Amino acid sequence: MDTSHDLEGVWVFGDYRNYFQNRVTLQLIAKARDLADKLDTRVIALALGDKVHQWAMEYVAHGADIVLAAEHPDLKSYQVETYCSVVAPWVEAFQPQVFLAGATSFGREFFPRLAKRLHTGLSADCVALEIDPETGLLLQTTPGFGGELLAEIVTPDHRPQMATVHPGVFQERPHDPGAVGRILYPDVDVVPETRVKLIRSKRQQTRQAKLEEAQVVIAGGRGLGSKENFERLYELAELLEGEVGATRPVIGSGWTDKERLLGQTGKTVKPRLLISIGASGAVQYTTGILGSENIVAINRDPQAPIFNMADLGLVGDANTLLPLLIEALRKRV
Amino acid sequence: MNIAVCIKQVPDTPSIRMDRERMTIIRDGVESVINPLDYVALQAALDLRDRKGGEVVVITMGPPQSEEALREAIAAGADRAILVTGAAFSGADTLATSHVLAVAISKLDPFPDLVLCGAHTTDSDTAHVGPQMAEELNLPQICGVNEIHMEEDYLTVKRLSDGFVETLQVSLPALLTVTQELCSVGHLPLGDLQIAFSEREITQWGPEDLGLKEEEVGLRGSATQVWKLSVPPPRREGDLISGSPQTLVDHLIRKLEDLSILDEEDGYKS
Amino acid sequence: MRFEPTMKQAVIRRTARKYAEEVLAPAAVEMDRTGQFPQDIADEMAELKYFGLEIPPEYGGAGLDPVSYAIVVEEISRANAAMGLCVAVHNGVAAAPMYEFGNQFQRKKFLVPVATGKKIGTFCLSEPNAGSDASAIETTAVRDNKDYILNGNKVFVTNGHVSGTNLIFANTRPGEKKKEYTVFFVESEREGVEKGPLEELMGMRGNPVCPITLHDCRVPEENLLGEQGQGLKIAFATLNGGRIGIAAQALGIAQACLDVSLRYAKERHQFGRSIAQFGAIQKHLADMATQVEAARLLVYRAAGLRDKGLEYGMESAMAKLYASKIAVDAARIGIQIHGAYGYSKSYPIERYYRDAKITEIYEGTSEVQRIVIARSLMER
């Protein structure tokens, strides 16, 4: 293919299973646009599935120069090994410099295996991506050591430079119906994974979409101390027409369902107001709430890192404040 | 059914403290523990073994003191433990780590029917090593499993993936990474700890035992490098209020009013 | 000289702490409120070998070393002093002498059920007129062919109400001028054993302390621990070791006082800052932390000597004397740091105060510990 030289730019894996997968892909295309301009190269989005034309069009409208598309019945369901059988040969053939994917469940499962097959480096859950002006290397900033620290990672000698990025970290570009791009369908040899069979796949019956779309989010942390105390948050959320989210220790203690998990391996929220209660502010959690327009934090420890990102910080015991707050709000309804 | 469980020793603290002057991690007074989800994987392996027979082997790559984690795993019921250790292994990224562990697993005799790992660790939290071992060992992988059922010669597993509840069948051998929901971890009997620490042997494998060259492991075998560590900058310059509970609630109510989430006078706006 | 725990001891501490924080700490509040002993938790602890800590595995125990034993008692007591008492007494002064002085038959018959926690053990020395002066006991054991007939009143029997196997100290030469002390295994279900009502105590609530009365209780010869007349020897040896458990218990309480006081001081704001930033509070916290650390070294040192088979009577007395004193101090100062909230039942520090006080009294009062220490000084 004569276009192969055009294809060595910045790649974005197209993940479109539901609304948020799609958004993260669009966000990454916007970021890839930015990186590609600095590298003087192109943005190439991938679209795999049984019918992908509409997604390919969408990616072009959001800034992709080229879409590499593959349509095959075996690509209908997201399967790591099957997808690797298509994408790995493409990478080997076209030699992209950078390859990005959303840190969705699938992205977090697919990209490590792909990186291993390509024998290249991968960084997880990046919160920033830049091009180093001197070396032209991709600077991948990721929260490391589970908390207070960010690591700047590079992949000096291996290609592509691969990274996953959590939804909500970057802003997508506006949909441009007039955008021009090419959609290519390279030859593919799909090798379906026969060792794993998908028996059933059911959309989870939860209120998670509401959490991600909520205008008010009440996020609870370990500092609440008990399941009973955590459950007060539902009452507060109801009064403010909001939704309840939780940090990982809360999920670990079984105080609420996993689908309420906020942060690195959970949901990213962007409400008008987020009230963080009894959470100290570990980076795994705060990556999920940084997009909030306003953050109010309640914590007993005035040194808690959560106060560094709060518009309003209240130093106090959540379990004393909550009943008072709920009572005050009830009076006003 | 023979099961290999990969575990990692992680610092026992929800968030690591940094020495902000020197940009190093404060390790004094921080104990190391088995990564919580690896403990779940171990428990699941022990449950499967107790029902189906076979043996559970725990493997870790780490400094010599990782022996502590392996002995704890033996106390929990693992049949044997392998410590993959050597100066050459240090500084490894996930590519190099998964290589060493995969080579160690492929050396197991018999080769395990199932490899289990925690879905992620509490320290670096990349969730890479499981899938990358599966790739090198040419095993099918399923990440984030929260239910495992042993059938004739395959497993039926469930997981939550991007908002879908998936039921999958996987042939053996296979690699699974597991989540908290899979099973609860019991408390260890003290007598079993005593035995694990006084009477049991831990197998040690270094680079030579695994036939690994220095350039394929540790820092040299890694594709990524850490250039810089930094502390995240404060995001906002907000007000920090202390005072009586009522004062704090008043501040919060005012904020709600400012944001028009509450009406200023007559209550509640939807 | 080593001050670091071994790998095993570190894991044992973590294991015991996890269990204590997850299971025993929540239970402590309920035990204190109702005074009820949680049998279901005791059964679980038995499965986990908390009732045979130092007993070798062949008799159903965990086979831990004395330092690990002290660590376990410390961690349990930090979360739940009443349960720490149950474990310290059961292991330290019931199971330990059963192992040390019991013959093969007795180890199998009496020790195994005790070490596996199927039967809870007691050590019945105190009587209405015999406390610090153990020689004043009035309980009698009279030989009758191959049996002994026991009569007497034992009071403040820790674990008494739930016990299965009791060690009873009795005078085997009643009526004679010179008493002879002998120890008997007495099963709770044996005819003539009567348990009185639960004591309503200031602290350690939930530990089933009660009096045990023996009324013409017939006990076979095979139930005699050690030899006839060995009673005082057994009592002193047992109390030497038992003090390590009580010292570890006091240490756990003191650590708990420090934990909650430090947390409270950081959280409580007055005059626009946390009270931990005030010098007066910092002095309290610094002293408390120093004392806890000093007590810890004394406790582990005594346990370490026991581990090596060396003399440790004076060191265990020092550990018990000091740890119990600083536990009471830490609780008292802890309440002061908490202010009025410290006096309220909504914070645990008032419970720690009530729990701590008895550690200066039982298994040898502080006054008696000083006698033991002074005598050792003069003998050495």
> What residues of C are in contact with residue B243 (Cβ under 8 Å)?
269
Angle, vertex CA B131, rays to CA B129 and CA B136, nearest 5: 90
Q: To the nearest whole number, what is the mean pLDDT of chain C?
A: 96
Instruction: Tell me whether residues C62 and B72 touch, CB distance under 8 A.
Output: no
Selecting from C10, C12, C273 the residue whose C-beta is nearest the C-beta of B190 gives C12
* Active-site amino acid positions of C: 363
Domain ranges for chain B: 3-216, 234-270
Q: Does some domain include residue C1?
A: no
Alpha-carbon distance C136 to C127, whole Å?
Answer: 9
Instruction: Tell me whether residues B68 and C57 touch, CB distance under 8 A.
Output: no
**Cβ pair C253, C81 in contact under 8 A:** yes
**Cβ pair A153, B226 in contact under 8 A:** yes
Closest-CA residue of chain B to A162? B224
Instruction: Compute the nearest-CA separation of B188 from chain C (Å).
Output: 7
Mark which of C197, C213, C231 sits at the end of a domain. Answer: C231
Q: Does some domain include residue C221?
A: yes
What pLDDT, on the 0 to 100 scale, is given for residue B121? 87
3-state SS assignment for residue B212: coil
Do C98 and C151 share a structural domain?
no
Cβ neighbourhood burial of C135 (10 Å; 0-12, 13-18, 19+): exposed
Would an 8 Å CB–CB cutoff place B190 in contact with chain A? Answer: no
Q: Which two tokens stand for residue C182?
A: 């002998």
For the ranges A87-91, A286-290, B149-153, which has the lowest average pLDDT?
Answer: A286-290
What pLDDT, on the 0 to 100 scale, is given for residue B266? 47
CA distances from B9 to A151, B63, B79, B83, C22 (A): 20, 9, 19, 12, 22
Using the predicted structure, report yes or no on whether residue B167 has a pLDDT greater than 50: yes
Alpha-carbon distance A12 to A105, whole Å?
Answer: 16
The alpha carbon torsion through B15, B21, B24, B27 (nearest 10 deg) reads -60
Do C244 and C227 share a structural domain?
no
Higher pLDDT, B261 or B115: B115
Residue C22 belongs to domain spanning: 7-120
Selecting from B16, B166, B262 the residue whose C-beta is nearest the C-beta of A147 gives B16
Chains near B (3 or more Cβ pairs under 8 Å): A, C
Q: Which of A227, A253, A300 to mutate to test the interface with C (most CBs of C within 10 A)?
A: A300
Would an 8 Å CB–CB cutoff place C47 in contact with chain B? Answer: yes
pLDDT tens column, A193-240: 999 999 999 987 654 457 877 889 999 998 898 888 999 999 999 888
What pLDDT, on the 0 to 100 scale, is given for residue A275? 95
> Using 50, 70 and 90 to split pLDDT, how confident is the model at B264?
low
Using the predicted structure, report yes or no on whether residue A2 has a pLDDT greater than 50: no
Average pLDDT over residues B32-52: 95
Instruction: Tell me whether residues C266 and A300 touch, CB distance under 8 A.
Output: yes
For the ranges A17-21, A103-107, B77-81, which has the lowest average pLDDT?
Answer: A17-21
What pLDDT, on the 0 to 100 scale, is given for residue A196? 96
> Using 50, 70 and 90 to split pLDDT, how confident is the model at B162?
confident
Chains near C (3 or more Cβ pairs under 8 Å): A, B
**Cβ pair A288, A167 in contact under 8 A:** no
Pairing of strands B3-6, B9-11: unpaired
Amino acid of residue B7:
I
Instruction: Compute the nearest-CA separation of B187 from chain C (Å).
Output: 7
Instruction: Tell me whether residues B242 and C61 touch, CB distance under 8 A.
Output: no
Q: Which residues 81-120 of B have a C-beta within 8 angstroms of A?
A: 93-95, 98, 120
Higher pLDDT, B255 or B28: B255
Instruction: Tell me whether residues B248 and A316 touch, CB distance under 8 A.
Output: yes
Distance of CA B214 to the CA centre of its chain: 26
Instruction: Tell me whether residues C48 and B189 touch, CB distance under 8 A.
Output: yes
Instruction: Tell me whether residues C266 and A301 touch, CB distance under 8 A.
Output: yes
Closest-CA residue of chain A to B224? A155
Using the predicted structure, report yes or no on whether residue A30 has a pLDDT greater than 60: yes
Instruction: Tell me whether residues C62 and B242 touch, CB distance under 8 A.
Output: no
Instruction: Compute the nearest-CA separation of C296 from chain B (Å).
Output: 16
pLDDT tens column, A238-257: 888 889 999 988 887 889 88
Would an 8 Å CB–CB cutoff place C274 in contact with chain A? Answer: yes
> What residues of A are in contact with residue C269 (Cβ under 8 Å)?
302, 315
The values of phi and psi at residue A142, to 5°, are -130, 145
Mark which of C60, C93, C120 sits at the end of a domain. Answer: C120
> What residues of B are in contact with residue A113 (Cβ under 8 Å)?
131-132, 134-135, 141
The alpha carbon torsion through A118, A83, A8, A28 (nearest 10 deg) reads -110
State which residues of chain C have pLDDT below 70: none
What pLDDT, on the 0 to 100 scale, is given for residue A128? 92
Sign of CA dihedral C235, C241, C244, C246: negative
**Cβ pair B190, C12 in contact under 8 A:** yes
pLDDT tens column, A70-117: 999 999 999 999 999 999 999 999 999 999 999 999 999 999 999 999
Give the containing element (helix H, strand E) for C109.
Answer: none
Alpha-carbon distance B189 to C16, whole Å?
Answer: 9
Do C13 and C135 share a structural domain?
no
Instruction: Tell me whether residues B267 and A204 touch, CB distance under 8 A.
Output: no
**Cβ pair B179, B144 in contact under 8 A:** yes
Alpha-carbon distance A279 to A246, whole Å?
Answer: 9
What pLDDT, on the 0 to 100 scale, is given for residue B234? 59
**Cβ pair C268, C26 in contact under 8 A:** no
Neighbours of A149 (CB within 10 A): 22
Cβ neighbourhood burial of A89 (10 Å; 0-12, 13-18, 19+): middle
DSSP B48: H
Alpha-carbon distance A192 to B111, whole Å?
Answer: 25
User: How many inter-chain contacts (A to C, CB under 8 Å) are there?
Assistant: 8
Q: Which of B103, B121, B135 to mutate to test the interface with A (most CBs of A within 10 A)?
A: B135
What pLDDT, on the 0 to 100 scale, is given for residue C226? 95
Closest-CA residue of chain B to C22? B187
DSSP A170: S
What pLDDT, on the 0 to 100 scale, is given for residue A266? 79
Do C30 and C111 share a structural domain?
yes
Would an 8 Å CB–CB cutoff place C5 in contact with chain B? Answer: no
Instruction: Compute the nearest-CA separation of C269 from chain A (Å).
Output: 9
ipTM: 0.89
Q: Does some domain include residue C2?
A: no
Residue corresponding to tokens 């008492």: C85
Do C253 and C218 share a structural domain?
no
Mark which of C120, C150, C185 sits at the end of a domain. Answer: C120
Domain ranges for chain A: 2-184, 208-332
User: How many inter-chain contacts (B to C, CB under 8 Å) are there?
Assistant: 68
Domain count, chain C: 3
What pLDDT, on the 0 to 100 scale, is given for residue C3? 84
Instruction: Compute the nearest-CA separation of B222 from chain C (Å).
Output: 31
Instruction: Tell me whether residues B25 and A117 touch, CB distance under 8 A.
Output: no
User: What CATH number does the domain containing C255 carry?
Assistant: 1.20.140.10
Selecting from B33, B67, B192 the residue whose C-beta is nearest the C-beta of C14 gives B33
Would an 8 Å CB–CB cutoff place A300 in contact with chain C? Answer: yes
Alpha-carbon distance B149 to B176, whole Å?
Answer: 12
b vs e for B50-69, b when ≥16 Cβ sit within 10 Å of the residue's Cβ? eeeebbbbbbbbbeeebbbb
A208-332 classified as CATH 3.40.50.1220: yes
> What residues of C are in contact with residue A302 (Cβ under 8 Å)?
269, 274
What pLDDT, on the 0 to 100 scale, is given for residue A17? 85
Selecting from A152, A308, A321 the residue whose C-beta is nearest the C-beta of B235 gives A308
Chains near A (3 or more Cβ pairs under 8 Å): B, C
Instruction: Compute the nearest-CA separation of C48 from chain B (Å).
Output: 4
Using the predicted structure, report yes or no on whether residue B267 has a pLDDT greater than 50: no
Cβ neighbourhood burial of C366 (10 Å; 0-12, 13-18, 19+): middle
Sign of CA dihedral B134, B49, B9, B30: positive
What pLDDT, on the 0 to 100 scale, is given for residue B270? 39
Closest CA to A194 of C183, B170, B122, C64: B170
Instruction: Compute the nearest-CA separation of B78 from chain A (Å).
Output: 24
**Cβ pair B12, B30 in contact under 8 A:** yes
Instruction: Compute the nearest-CA separation of C52 from chain B (Å).
Output: 9
E strands, C125-272, where? Answer: 140-144, 147-157, 163-171, 181-187, 193-195, 210-220, 224-225, 269-270
Alpha-carbon distance C236 to C88, whole Å?
Answer: 16
> What residues of B are in contact with residue C7 (Cβ under 8 Å)?
65, 67-68, 71, 197
Amino acid of residue A221:
G
Q: Which of C6, C8, C65 to mutate to test the interface with B (most CBs of B within 10 A)?
A: C8
Closest-CA residue of chain B to C13? B190
Q: Which residues 58-87 of C have a C-beta within 8 angstroms of A?
A: none
Span B3-216 CATH architecture: 3-Layer(aba) Sandwich (3.40)
Alpha-carbon distance A125 to A283, whole Å?
Answer: 11
User: What CATH number does the domain containing C185 carry?
Assistant: 2.40.110.10
The CATH homologous superfamily for domain A2-184 is HUPs (3.40.50.620)
Read out DSSP for B124-161? S----HHHHHHHHHT--EEEEEEEEEE-SSEEEEEEEE
**Cβ pair C126, C75 in contact under 8 A:** no
pLDDT tens column, B181-218: 899 898 999 999 999 999 999 999 999 999 999 999 99
Closest CA to A305 of B15, B45, C80: B15
**Cβ pair C323, C316 in contact under 8 A:** no
> What residues of B are in contact with residue A239 (Cβ under 8 Å)?
268
